[in-house]
Each structure stands twice: as structure tokens, then as C-alpha cells.
Chains A and B, each alone.
Chain A
Amino acid sequence: GAVVSQHPSRVICKSGTSVKIECRSLDFQATTMFWYRQFPKQSLMLMATSNEGSKATYEQGVEKDKFLINHASLTLSTLTVTSAHPEDSSFYICSARRVDGGSQYFGPGTRLLVL
């Protein structure tokens, strides 16, 4: 149990377009989901924390108008990269925490390439 999926696994888009990434908890309900970003050979950096039914909390330096997060249900959170630029190219990873608390379960990640 405790499987988290992400879709798409990789996406290539043109500069200026928007890209939506989905994160789903497949076999459990998650009140809290987290979005991380990972650059090559770097650590995962927490971007934001989203709680079901409320606004996401963004880490310092992360533009909330650029990275739109929606956590509409207990099993789905989405990250939309708006007006993407080449510097937004990265590996985006989500994680979900069960309703009853405890460990975070990670998705396999989405690789975004902006041309």
C-alpha cells in the first residue's frame, strides 16, 4: 500500500506555455501533499505544502503565481507551471502524507524540459 503516482512522467513544452503535473495517492487519503524540485546532482528542495481544501504554503523564494498548486481532493494535488521558461526545467517530485499522519510517500517524479 501507500502508492503515489505522478502524471506525466516526463513532458517537453515550449517556452511561454503552461504545464500541469498531477500527483495522486492511489490507495490512501492524504490531507497534506508536498511538492519538491530537484536539480541535477542536487538535493530535493521543498517548494510548497498543500493541504486539502486550503491554499498552499510556499517556501521562501518560490513564486506562488508561477507555480500554482491545487489540492482539490484527498487523493489529488496538481502543480501548474505557468508561462514556463527554460530555467523551470527540472525534476518535480510530490509526496503525500496520510490522513492519520506519519511518513511521507513519494511519487516517481516528473521531468520537465522547457525549450
Chain B
Amino acid sequence: GDSVTQMEGPVTLSEEAFLTINCTYTATGYPSLFWYVQYPGEGLQLLLKATKADDKGSNKGFEATYRKETTSFHLEKGSVQVSDSAVYFCALRSGGGADGLTFGKGTHLIIQP
């Protein structure tokens, strides 16, 4: 079945550091890929997405590129801020038509001033 693997946390960085959170997936067909963010006490929010190979999703300074050859969708940001502290989830939606999402375990990101 479909699965998503993302790096374990917590990941602790200093403000203005470069961020990479790795995400790889296993799926049949051609899935759509997502990054969701969950701030403390809030529901998951869509951060960015990509629906086909080589697409780059971007939002709020974050970006991720759909790499079919490496089955990866790594999240990057050039300069993180304290307000980026949250839990980040990588997810996929199967290309077979099912709408439910398959999630990774989540990565807790902590940004220190």
C-alpha cells in the first residue's frame, strides 16, 4: 500500500538557518504530494502541494519539488523564523482516485531565537 516516510524529529534550528525536512514515498500510480503544517492548538493547514513530477510547490518561503525518480518531496526554506515552529506532515493522495490522504509521522520543528 501507499506509505510516506519523513525524518524523525524534533528538529531544532537557530533563526535564519536553512531548513530541509526529508520526505520519501511509496505509491502506485501518480500520486499528488502535500506538505501540511500544524501550529500548536490548531488544525492541519495545507502548506504547499505538487500534483505531477517536477512540479515545485511553494508558499511562505517554503518549497518542495516532486521528484519521481527519487520518490521524494523534501521541504526546504532558506531562512527560518521562530514563527515557523510547528509540526510538519508530508502526505500523498493516491493517483488511483481515492481522496483520503496517507500521512507521514510528522516532524516537530523548533526554531530558537
A43 touches B106 (CB 8 A): yes
Closest residue on chain A to residue B41 by CB atoms: A108
Binds B, one of A14-22, A64-72, A73-81, A99-107: A99-107
The answer to whether the Cβ of A4 comes within 8 Å of any Cβ in the partner chain is yes
Shortest C-beta distance, A109 to chain B (Å), equals 7
Count residues on chain A whose CB falls below 8 Å from chain B CBs: 22
**B96 located at the interface, meaning its Cβ lies under 8 Å from any Cβ of chain A in the complex:** no
Of A4, A43, A49, which is within 8 A of B99 by CB? A49
Size of chain B's interface in residues, with CB distance under 8 A?
19
Contacts of B42 in A (CB 8 A): 108
Contact A43 B41 (CB under 8 A): no
- A43-B89, A44-B89, A103-B49 given; A93·B44 CB < 8 A: yes
Contact partner of A43 among B43, B46, B49, B105, CB < 8 A? B105
Which residues 23-56 of B have a CB within 8 angstroms of A?
36, 41-46, 49
Within 8 Å of chain A (Cβ to Cβ): is B100? yes
Q: Complex: how many Å from CA A49 to CA B89? A: 20
In whole angstroms, how far apart are the Cα atoms of A95 and B103 in the complex?
13
Could you tell me if A103 and B105 are in contact, using CB atoms closer than 8 angstroms?
A: no
Please name all residues of chain A whose beta carbon is closer than 8 Å to the beta carbon of B41 when the two chains form the complex. Answer: 108
Give the total number of A-B pairs whose CB atoms are below 8 A apart: 47
What does the 1/0 interface line of A37-65 toward B look like (CB < 8 Å)?
00001111110010000000001000000
Among A32, A42, A45, A93, contact of B43 (Cβ-Cβ < 8 Å): A93
- Chain A 14-38, CB-CB to B under 8 Å as 1, else 0, gives 0000000000000000001010100
Q: Are A107 and B43 in contact (CB under 8 A)?
A: yes
Q: A109 contacts B43, CB within 8 Å?
A: yes
- Pair B99/A32 contact, Cβ less than 8 Å: yes
Binding site for B on A (CB under 8 A): 4, 32, 34, 36, 41-46, 49, 59, 93, 95, 97, 103-109
Chain B residues at the A interface, C-beta cutoff of 8 Å: 4, 36, 41-46, 49, 89, 98-106
Sample (11) of A-B pairs whose CB atoms are under 8 Å apart: A42-B105, A43-B106, A46-B102, A49-B98, A93-B43, A95-B44, A103-B49, A104-B99, A106-B36, A108-B41, A108-B42
